């Protein structure tokens, strides 16, 4: 079986969408659903046990990120973290602006996850100014293009670390240096990078950084936002004063404990995991190219510019969603892009921003391998994909 705890023989190749919870992580979480169930805000023993678990998890994650534990805010996931980063900084800037000041301005990119894009678009509708920087044909945004978009009233730069659809790694350290030189907070959506790329916030220049546990073999429904001390931000979720008053609501103790355990294991396995995934991904690419000579690779070809587990391809004459349904019937789980837009008939905004024609955007498939995939599964996938492509092309009368 290709996935931890999988209930069937599905070849799971959609790890950018989510990963199964690692058994070691689940084992660490289970006591906090049962005998250690206390509310961490309570003063009696059960509550203080839960509070101590939060402190330990916070310290463990802070060590990996190279930050202070006090700079971490636990959230429900990356969507909340991204929304908080954009809206929190923008609203704080607006509240301190003079009557005649230009509207606060945000610089982001056209290839961001919708958690950032839609938050930026909402702020734009509420009177903020936003610039969406375009990538090059490989899906990489240049630091020079980001620098050129900055204005005197720019209050935030937000650029993802690695793209969820193409795996393209962005020059965040270079962009962060530009933002720091100009005194502008820099937010990094690092969701896809965890487990593959360095996350130390000083090294990559982050003032704010978003993560979610279910992308690195942790549980769903829990994430974090790193907020560098002194970063101007207006916190939004009001309640009982949890997270030092930065996010109201009882903390998800089992989830947070699980996230810390998953991130520790991901950091420990990073080099071996990257090498394992790169070998599988490269074999898949070589096999598909041999079977489908007109296959097109979307995104950077150089291994140093792309996440090692990601392969995004277009098969001319084959509709991506039609192919996905056929692949599922044959026992292969893949994606046409972001899992958050499944069911949306619009082609990928990322591929469009890269300049791909619409027919190729609609003909694209994303395969993302993981820890438990094997070479035998990859070889089986090559045969299945090539057969599905030939069948669909034959029905459509495409040679």
Cβ neighbours for 184, distance < 8 A, ≥ 6 positions apart: 150, 154, 155, 156, 157
The arithmetic mean of pLDDT across residues 334-341, rounded, is 68
* pLDDT tens profile 196-234: 999 999 999 999 999 999 999 999 999 999 999 999 999
CATH topology for 23-264 is: 3.40.640
Are 385 and 377 in contact by the 8 Å Cβ rule? The answer is no
Q: Can you give the pLDDT at residue 4?
A: 52
Least confident of 122-131, 139-148, 317-326, 343-352: 343-352
The closest of 131, 121, 129 to 83, measured between CA atoms, is 121
The arithmetic mean of pLDDT across residues 30-59, rounded, is 95
Are 154 and 105 in contact by the 8 Å Cβ rule? The answer is yes
- Residue 70's Cβ-side half-sphere holds a number of Cα atoms within 13 Å equal to 5
SS3 362: coil
**CB 103: neighbour CB atoms within 10 A?**
18
Q: At what angle do helices 114-125 and 78-96 cross, to 10 degrees?
A: 30
CATH topology for 11-21+270-396 is: 3.90.1150
Are 323 and 1 in contact by the 8 Å Cβ rule? The answer is no
Concerning whether 361 is annotated as a catalytic residue, the answer is no
| Domains of the chain, residue spans | 11-21+270-396, 23-264
Q: CA-to-CA distance for 80 and 152, rounded, in angstroms?
A: 28
Least confident of 25-29, 172-176, 238-242, 331-335: 238-242
Q: Can you give the pLDDT at residue 100?
A: 72
Where helices occur in the chain by DSSP H, the ranges are: 23-29, 45-65, 78-96, 114-125, 143-149, 172-181, 201-204, 253-291, 320-329, 349-353, 358-361, 375-396
Question: 311 pLDDT exceeds 50?
Answer: yes
- Secondary structure (DSSP) of 100-129: TSPPPEEEEETTS-HHHHHHHHHHHHTT-E
Residue 161 tokens, joined:
């670390």
Q: Kindly report the pTM of this predicted structure.
A: 0.94
* pLDDT tens profile 78-113: 999 999 999 999 999 988 877 678 899 999 999 999
DSSP letter assigned to residue 188: E
Residue 228 tokens, joined:
């560098």
Q: CA-to-CA distance for 133 and 258, rounded, in angstroms?
A: 36
Judge whether 11-21+270-396 and 23-264 match in fold.
no
Residue 114 tokens, joined:
């919708």
* pLDDT tens profile 139-160: 999 999 999 999 999 999 999 9
Q: At what angle do helices 253-291 and 375-396 cross, to 10 degrees?
A: 60
User: What is the average pLDDT value for the chain, to the nearest integer?
Assistant: 94
Q: Which of 67, 155, 277, 340 is catalytic?
A: 340
With tokens 């950032």, the residue in question is 116
Q: Please state, for a pLDDT cut of 70, what percent of the chain lies above it.
A: 94
Question: 345 pLDDT exceeds 80?
Answer: no
Q: Can you give the pLDDT at residue 140?
A: 98
Least confident of 2-16, 230-244, 270-284, 372-386: 2-16
């Amino acid at each position: 079986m290709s996935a931890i705890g999988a209930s069937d023989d599905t070849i799971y190749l959609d790890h950018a969408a989510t990963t199964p919870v690692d058994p070691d992580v689940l084992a660490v979480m289970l006591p906090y659903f049962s005998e250690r169930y206390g509310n961490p805000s309570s003063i009696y023993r059960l509550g203080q046990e839960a509070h101590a678990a939060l402190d330990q998890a916070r310290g463990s994650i802070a060590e990996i990120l190279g930050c202070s534990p006090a700079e971490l805010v636990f959230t429900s996931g990356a969507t909340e973290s991204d929304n908080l980063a954009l809206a929190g900084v923008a609203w704080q800037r607006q509240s301190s602006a003079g009557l005649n000041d230009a509207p606060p301005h945000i610089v982001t990119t056209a290839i961001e996850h919708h958690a950032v894009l839609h938050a930026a678009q909402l702020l734009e509708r509420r009177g903020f100014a936003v610039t969406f920087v375009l990538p090059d044909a490989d899906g990489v945004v240049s630091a020079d293009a980001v620098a050129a978009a900055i204005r005197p009233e720019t209050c935030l730069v937000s650029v993802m670390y690695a793209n969820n659809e193409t795996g393209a790694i962005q020059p965040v350290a270079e962009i962060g240096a530009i933002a720091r030189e100009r005194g502008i907070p820099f937010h990094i959506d690092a969701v896809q990078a965890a487990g593959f790329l360095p996350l130390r916030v000083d090294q990559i220049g982050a003032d704010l950084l978003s993560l979610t546990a279910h992308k690195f073999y942790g549980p769903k429904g829990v994430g974090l936002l790193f907020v560098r001390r002194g970063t101007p931000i207006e916190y939004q979720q009001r309640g009982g004063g949890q997270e030092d008053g930065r996010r109201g609501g009882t903390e998800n103790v089992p989830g947070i404990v699980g996230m810390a355990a998953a991130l520790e294991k991901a950091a420990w396995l990073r080099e071996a995991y990257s090498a394992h995934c790169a070998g599988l991904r490269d074999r898949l690419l070589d096999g598909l190219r041999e079977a489908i000579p007109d296959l097109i690779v979307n995104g950077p070809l150089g291994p140093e510019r792309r996440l090692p587990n990601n392969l995004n391809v277009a098969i001319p004459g084959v509709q991506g969603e039609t192919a996905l349904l056929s692949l599922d019937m044959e026992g292969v789980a893949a994606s046409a892009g972001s899992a958050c837009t499944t069911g949306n008939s619009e082609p990928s905004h990322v591929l469009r921003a890269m300049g791909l024609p619409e027919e190729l955007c609609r003909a694209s498939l994303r395969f993302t391998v993981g820890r438990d995939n094997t070479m035998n599964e990859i070889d089986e996938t090559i045969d299945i994909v090539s057969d599905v492509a030939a069948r669909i092309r034959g029905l459509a009368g495409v040679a």
